[in-house]
């Protein structure tokens, strides 16, 4: 399992310190929720903030774009220092093209599905994916309740990816994850758990990370997950 804490729940008055504390605790990924006030009913931040944080952190920047027509901004996010760009299927009529463009920029490419979006939206994009993000809350806010039918969707996603010849792609779950449901999420087939409110509200971070990682103890590591654990921030991303 990889835990990707969501910056949205961090203390915005001291983000550089927060990032340093995450790295010191052994966290490897950071989930950055970009919201445009159009695709979702909330506005957060964009490339300038990510660019400002980049020199302060070696974390792998997992950037979740809750943005209409995300293809307009791919280069901006690459230049800001993103490592993985995740677009929403519902926000892009030409997702296959956008995913291809993301990979051409040298970044990892992901597709996100809202809770109500059928997995069939990912079927013919599977070869273009490094990661499939299943929303387990309706996107827009942290601190919402986990939607339980997500467990079945995760199982179906794993089967779909295997059938499509994309078994190496990661399944990420975003929304309402916590140490209490982490084992069930991993049982269903999740590889990457995003956590906002259930992570940042609980210091020290090393103990909180351990509470999540306990769910992964004794489990076989899928080859795709093993490969992803070696993904690192490539400093060259920031200087195209
Ligand atoms: C919701 C965001 C999530 C959110 C997760 O739209 O995409 O990443 O920050 O927060 P929690 O873990 O509190 O549900
Ligand atoms: Zn997110």
The neighbour count for residue 28, using CB atoms within 10 Å, is 19
Residue with tokens 């179906």: 156
pLDDT in tens, 156-173: 999 999 999 999 999 999
CA atoms within 13 A on the CB side of 89: 23
Confidence class of residue 240 from pLDDT cuts 50, 70 and 90?
very low
pLDDT band at 236 (very low <50, low <70, confident <90, very high): low
* Mean per-residue pLDDT over the chain, rounded: 97
Prediction pTM value: 0.97
pLDDT, tens digit, 9 for 90 and up, residues 103-128: 999 999 999 999 999 999 999 999 99
For 46-71, the pLDDT digits (tens) are: 999 999 999 999 999 999 999 999 99
Going edge to edge, which strands form the sheet with 108-113?
A: 2-5, 192-195, 170-174, 131-135, 108-113, 84-88, 60-66, 29-35
Question: What is the reported pLDDT for 235?
Answer: 74
Residues with CB under 5 A from ligand 2 (ion): 33, 64, 174
Does the Cβ of 6 fall within 6 Å of ligand 1? yes
Ligand 1 nearest-atom number relative to CA 138: 6
Q: Is 5 in the pocket of ligand 1 (CB under 6 A)?
A: no
Ligand with smallest separation from the Cα of 9 = 1
Gap between the Cα atoms of 240 and 226, Å rounded? 28
Which helix (H) or strand (E) covers residue 33, if one does? Answer: strand 29-35
DSSP 109-139: EEEEE-TTS-THHHHTTGGG-SEEEEESS-T
SS3 assignment, position 160: helix
Instruction: Ligand 1, residue 144: give the atom nearest the CA.
Output: 14
Q: Catalytic residues, which ones?
A: 33, 174
What confidence category does residue 234 fall into, taking pLDDT thresholds of 50, 70 and 90?
confident
C-beta 44 within 6 A of ligand 1:
no
Q: Measured in angstroms, how far is the CA atom of residue 123 from the centroid of ligand 1?
A: 25
3-state secondary structure of 80: helix
Tell me how far apart the alpha carbons of residues 225 and 201 are, in angstroms, rounded to a whole number: 27
Whether 47 is in the pocket of ligand 1, judged by its Cβ within 6 Å, is: no
Of the bound ligands, which one is closest to the alpha carbon of residue 40? 1
Locus of tokens 């690459």: 78
Cα–Cα–Cα angle for 159, 216, 153, rounded to 5 degrees? 30
Decide if 105 contacts 129 (C-beta within 8 A): no
């Amino acid at each position: 399992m990889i835990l990707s804490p969501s910056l949205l729940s961090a203390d915005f008055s001291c983000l550089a310190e927060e990032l340093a504390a995450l790295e010191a605790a052994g966290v490897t990924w950071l989930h950055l929720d970009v919201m445009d006030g159009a695709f979702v009913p909330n506005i957060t931040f964009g490339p300038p903030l990510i660019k400002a944080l980049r020199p302060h952190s070696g974390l792998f920047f997992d950037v979740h774009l809750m943005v209409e027509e995300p293809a307009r901004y791919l280069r901006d996010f690459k230049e800001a220092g993103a490592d993985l760009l995740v677009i929403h299927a519902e926000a892009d009529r030409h997702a296959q093209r956008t995913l291809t463009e993301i990979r051409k920029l040298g970044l990892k490419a992901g597709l996100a599905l809202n809770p109500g979006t059928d997995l069939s939206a990912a079927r013919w994009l599977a070869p273009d994916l490094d990661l499939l993000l299943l929303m387990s809350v309706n996107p827009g806010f942290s601190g919402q309740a986990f939607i339980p039918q997500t467990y079945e969707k995760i199982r179906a996603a794993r089967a779909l990816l295997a059938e499509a010849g994309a078994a190496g792609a990661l399944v990420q779950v975003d929304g309402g994850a916590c140490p209490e449901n982490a084992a069930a999420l991993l049982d269903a087939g999740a590889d990457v758990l995003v956590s906002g409110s259930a992570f940042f509200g609980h210091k020290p971070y090393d103990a909180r990370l351990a509470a999540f990682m306990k769910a992964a103890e004794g489990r076989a590591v899928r080859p795709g997950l093993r490969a992803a654990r070696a993904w690192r921030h490539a400093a060259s991303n920031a200087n195209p």
